[in-house]
């Protein structure tokens, strides 16, 4: 069947081995889907029913259903096996990841395989661009990972294909990689700079989406606004290294106008220091209050400043002269 990359909508009894074991998907040399699969049925009547689906839609895909043979299928599977076994580097590429993909959840798909390096391709907003690269400890582990072919993650089907270090670096240039490693930092603490005055803890936690923030402290001015800095403590050094990769990204992933946030390694000693409040120096001497008696300037519209006669203000409301004059006697210099 040409153009098919999903399970056929047939009853399990129609297919030899059922839908799980009776459908053989063919992959390209790099492990990506070729759009072709072979299906073996139990009876010739079932074959005729399947051929009637030629040029029909499978989901939103138009596909052909053609008659084949065991010989053609076995030859295609053997060729695929040879191509996938010809792996020179233990690197696998994932394609089709959702933008909210998390490294910890992806690692769970390969629980018995040792992953020594992981990196996602990010878009301009800092979200997953749909692809990720994994380096395994051995060629054997990489071959085992390729057997997964497709993994279901959230609402997406993710392709698993072989890759190389050259392809990895071509999509994620070495210059953009973080040079910090676990050996370069001593404590699981980072410092943020360049935060807006009204930043909240939830915004900072969302900024480190996928990482476990143990403690978040925003450094504030006397009036309560953020002075642009914050300290975050993580659970381990590995998570801290991943947090440092956020350096230079905007606080809000969906905002292109937001300023970049600086993320640097810090320490508990720096955290405990008295924070430097970023406030502008006053341009003039402190204000002084001076009371001026305006009683000598009382107009004919009301009595003296201590009189109790009533008059109408500019809005036509009746007011007491004494309270009105009292308000006028306070002036700020």
| Secondary structure (3-state) at 122 | strand
251 in Cβ contact with 307 (< 8 Å): no
- Give dist(CA 160, CA 150) in Å, integer: 6
308 in Cβ contact with 320 (< 8 Å): yes
pLDDT (tens digit per residue) in 126-178: 678 889 999 999 998 988 888 776 778 877 888 888 888 888 888 876 434 44
What letter does residue 157 receive in the DSSP assignment? E
Strand-pair category, 128-136 with 213-220: unpaired
- Give dist(CA 79, CA 118) in Å, integer: 29
Give the CA radius of gyration of the chain: 35
pLDDT score of 322 more than 50:
no
- Give dist(CA 161, CA 95) in Å, integer: 8
pLDDT of res. 245: 87
112 in Cβ contact with 148 (< 8 Å): no
User: What are the distances in angstroms from CA 276 to CA 80, 185, 269, 272?
Assistant: 63, 24, 14, 12
pLDDT (tens digit per residue) in 182-224: 666 788 999 998 899 999 999 999 999 889 999 999 988 888 8
- Give dist(CA 218, CA 232) in Å, integer: 9
Closest CA to 195 of 234, 154, 246, 235: 246
pLDDT score of 99 more than 50:
yes
pLDDT of res. 234: 94
pLDDT of res. 298: 44
Average pLDDT for the chain: 75
pLDDT of res. 204: 92
Closest CA to 254 of 211, 213, 218, 206: 206
Percent of the chain at pLDDT exceeding 90: 14
| Confidence grade of residue 230 (pLDDT, cut at 50, 70, 90) | very high
pLDDT of res. 326: 45
| Confidence grade of residue 314 (pLDDT, cut at 50, 70, 90) | very low
Alpha-helical runs (H) found in 252-294: 268-272
State the pTM of this model. Answer: 0.42
pLDDT of res. 91: 92
- Give dist(CA 204, CA 195) in Å, integer: 9
39 in Cβ contact with 8 (< 8 Å): yes
- Give dist(CA 272, CA 235) in Å, integer: 18
pLDDT of res. 332: 44
Closest CA to 7 of 74, 48, 63, 45: 63
pLDDT score of 118 more than 80:
yes
Q: Read off the pLDDT of each residue in 26-39 and give the average, rounded to a whole number.
A: 79
288 in Cβ contact with 333 (< 8 Å): yes
- Give dist(CA 144, CA 160) in Å, integer: 11
pLDDT of res. 92: 92
Residue 38: its H or E element? strand 33-39
Top-ranked range on mean pLDDT: pick from 102-106, 124-128, 283-287: 102-106
Strand-pair category, 262-265 with 189-193: antiparallel
Bridge partners for 135 per DSSP: 91, 117
pLDDT of res. 257: 54
């Amino acid at each position: 069947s040409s153009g098919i990359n999903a399970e056929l909508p047939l009853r399990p009894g129609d297919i030899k081995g059922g839908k799980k074991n009776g459908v053989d998907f063919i992959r390209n040399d790099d492990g990506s889907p070729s759009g072709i699969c072979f299906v073996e049925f139990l009876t010739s009547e079932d074959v005729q029913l399947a051929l009637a689906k030629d040029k029909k839609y499978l989901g939103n895909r138009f596909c052909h259903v053609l008659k084949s043979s065991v010989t053609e299928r076995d030859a295609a599977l053997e060729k695929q096996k040879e191509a996938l076994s010809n792996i020179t580097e233990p690197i696998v590429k994932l394609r089709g990841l959702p933008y909210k993909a998390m490294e910890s959840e992806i690692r769970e798909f390969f629980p018995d395989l040792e992953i020594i390096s992981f990196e996602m391709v990010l878009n301009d907003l800092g979200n997953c661009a749909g692809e990720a690269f994994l380096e395994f400890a051995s060629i054997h582990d990489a071959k085992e990972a390729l057997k997964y072919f497709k993994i279901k993650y959230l609402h997406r089907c993710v392709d698993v294909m072989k890759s190389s270090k050259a392809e990895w670096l071509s999509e994620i240039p070495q210059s953009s990689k973080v040079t910090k490693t676990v050996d370069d930092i001593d404590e699981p603490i980072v410092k943020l700079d360049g935060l807006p005055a009204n930043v909240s803890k939830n915004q900072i936690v969302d900024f480190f989406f996928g990482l476990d923030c143990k403690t978040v402290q925003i450094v504030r001015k006397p009036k309560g606004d953020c002075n642009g800095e914050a300290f975050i403590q993580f659970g381990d050094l590995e998570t801290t290294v991943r947090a440092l990769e956020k350096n230079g990204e905007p606080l809000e992933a969906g905002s292109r106008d937001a300023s970049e946030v600086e993320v640097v390694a810090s320490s508990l000693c720096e955290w405990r220091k008295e924070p430097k409040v970023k406030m502008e120096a006053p341009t003039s001497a402190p204000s002084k209050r001076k009371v001026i008696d305006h009683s000598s300037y009382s107009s004919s519209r009301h009595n003296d400043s201590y009189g109790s006669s009533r008059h109408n203000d500019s809005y036509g409301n009746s007011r007491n002269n004494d309270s009105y004059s009292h308000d006028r006697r306070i002036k700020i210099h």
